[in-house]
Structure 1
Amino acid sequence: MKYLLRYQLINYLRTYKYVPPFSIFILIMVVNYTFVPNPILNSYSFTSIMLFFLMGWFTITLFHAEDEGQKIITILHSKGQSAYYGSLFIVCIAIGFCLSMVSVIYPILIGAFGEQPRVLHIIMGFLSHFSLAVLAIALSAIFTRELVKNRQNTWWGVLSILIIAVAIVTLKSVILPVKGLIWLFPPLHLALEMMSSDDSLKNIPYVFYWQFAWIVIYSMLLIGLYFFILHHKRKL
């Protein structure tokens, strides 16, 4: 698996398909923190949403880094489809982890906040970025070429599902009366609600950890669904 992961990363870097989303990420970080001081949690909330959309871009370009012929050869050299696609998810998550760290540390290094962030701000900032990055990866993977044949539908599908996930935040009051329905939708709203807390927060409420955990669990369930559909299609 180590060599497969290395190959996937090097191959992706050689395609330069990461340049547009990474350039936009850098631009957002620089522009967002040009004027100081900034509120801590609100700023992290904004960059979390931006990372959420950009990780959809990274995911699609990484999953489509190889052409169909080269992909088949790589699958044959790896230990089957599960290892191949598992390595793609791991690389995506690693990218999300690194960008989450940059998103949290960069404004601290340049002194962009009105007060010195405390440990709880850093923890919440990282959990918000990373959990939404993983959620974006899971949602976007469902629309990659392995499950959606039309490339145009891939991009429209990813963009639509990410926008719907954000729109649910404003529609939550409408969805809540229908018992259990809110649990079926991407839990992006949980991260935004937690990050709307005041910067003067003294401790991270215990329930916040469970809410961040649910975002990750929901994402893992979607990834599991991806592999289930993939194996089912292979048997047909």
Structure 2
Amino acid sequence: MKALVSYMLKDYLRSYLYVPPVSLFCLWTFVAYTYVPNPVFSSYAVSCAVLYFVTAWLTITLVNREDATQLHITAVHARSFISVFLSKVIGVLIMISFLIMLAVLYPIWIGAFHRSVTMWDVLIAITAHFLISFLGVAVSLYFTKIWSRKTLSTWLLLVLILVISLVKGGIVEFLPRGFSFVTWVFPPSFAIMDVLSQDTITANAQLLFTFIHILGYASLLTVTFLVLVRKKRMRQKFS
């Protein structure tokens, strides 16, 4: 698996498809902290939201990097389509980890916050950024070309879902009573925004439940995707 992940990353880096999303995030980070001081968690909430979309961009371009022929060759060498796509997921998360470190540590380094930042604050920030990134990866997998070749409509639908998932807390307020359940199917990224909207965050059961819920949701989406990929491959093999 290590060699496969390494191959995926090297192939993707040679393509330079990562340059626009990574450059955009880096530029946004540097510009966002031009004016100081800034509130700690509110600032991290915004960087989480931006990273959510950047992660989706990276996921789509990395997963779609190989054409059908190259994907088949890679799968033959890896002896598993699941291993191929799992290595792509891991590859995205590795790339995102560098952006997470930038998002969390850069404002601390330049003293951009209105108060000193504790190790607990850093831990919460890193966890929040990782969870929303993992969620972005898991959701975006279903909008790769393995399911649809209609690029524009696929991108638009993905962006719409990501936006709704971020603001679904506000949407619930405008829905008729008893209809709030329709928002349950959307990714729980709003929960991260809700956590980071607080001035201080304390360790409690609700915080732990929120993080476990998001991790479980993203993990379930990813596992389901891998299972569906395997079933689709088996149908193509025997059709």
| Same fold at TM > 0.5 | yes
Q: Which residue of 1 aligns with 2:97?
A: 97
Q: How many pairs were matched up?
A: 234
TM-score normalised by structure 1 residue count: 0.92
Q: 1:64 to 1:175 in 2, by over 3 A?
A: farther
Q: Which residue of 2 aligns with 1:221?
A: 220
Q: 1:130 to 1:151 in 2, by over 3 A?
A: same
Once residues 3 and 207 of structure 2 are traced to their aligned partners in structure 1, the CA distance between those partners, rounded to angstroms, is 37
Pairing 1:118–2:118 present: yes
Once residues 53 and 149 of structure 1 are traced to their aligned partners in structure 2, the CA distance between those partners, rounded to angstroms, is 20
Q: Which residue of 2 aligns with 1:40?
A: 40
Higher mean C-alpha deviation, range 205-214 or range 150-159: 150-159
Pairing 1:188–2:196 present: no
Q: Which residue of 1 aligns with 2:57?
A: 57
Once residues 198 and 211 of structure 2 are traced to their aligned partners in structure 1, the CA distance between those partners, rounded to angstroms, is 14
Q: Which residue of 2 aligns with 1:169?
A: 169
**Contact map agreement 1:37 1:112 (CA 8 A) in 2:** yes
Structure 1 residue ranges without an equivalent (≥5): none
Shift of 1:68: 2.3
Higher mean C-alpha deviation, range 37-46 or range 225-234: 225-234
Shift of 1:154: 2.8
Partner deviation per Cα, 1:44-82 (whole Å, 9 max, x = no partner): 000000000110000001001222222221111112101
Once residues 131 and 148 of structure 2 are traced to their aligned partners in structure 1, the CA distance between those partners, rounded to angstroms, is 25
**Contact map agreement 1:36 1:112 (CA 8 A) in 2:** yes
Q: Which amino acid aligns with 2:60?
A: I
Q: Which residue of 2 aligns with 1:128?
A: 128
Percent identity over paired residues: 32
Q: Which residue of 1 aligns with 2:108?
A: 108
Shift of 1:228: 2.6
Once residues 25 and 137 of structure 1 are traced to their aligned partners in structure 2, the CA distance between those partners, rounded to angstroms, is 16
Partner deviation per Cα, 1:203-229 (whole Å, 9 max, x = no partner): 333311220121111011111221232
- Give SS of 1:134's match: helix
- Give SS of 1:184's match: coil
Higher mean C-alpha deviation, range 150-159 or range 124-133: 150-159
Once residues 114 and 180 of structure 2 are traced to their aligned partners in structure 1, the CA distance between those partners, rounded to angstroms, is 41
Q: Which residue of 1 aligns with 2:149?
A: 149
**Contact map agreement 1:169 1:188 (CA 8 A) in 2:** no
Q: 1:220 to 1:77 in 2, by over 3 A?
A: same
Q: 1:176 to 1:216 in 2, by over 3 A?
A: farther
Structure 2 residue ranges without an equivalent (≥5): none
Q: Which amino acid aligns with 1:206?
A: A
Higher mean C-alpha deviation, range 131-140 or range 204-213: 204-213
Q: Which amino acid aligns with 2:221?
A: L
Q: Which amino acid aligns with 1:160?
A: L
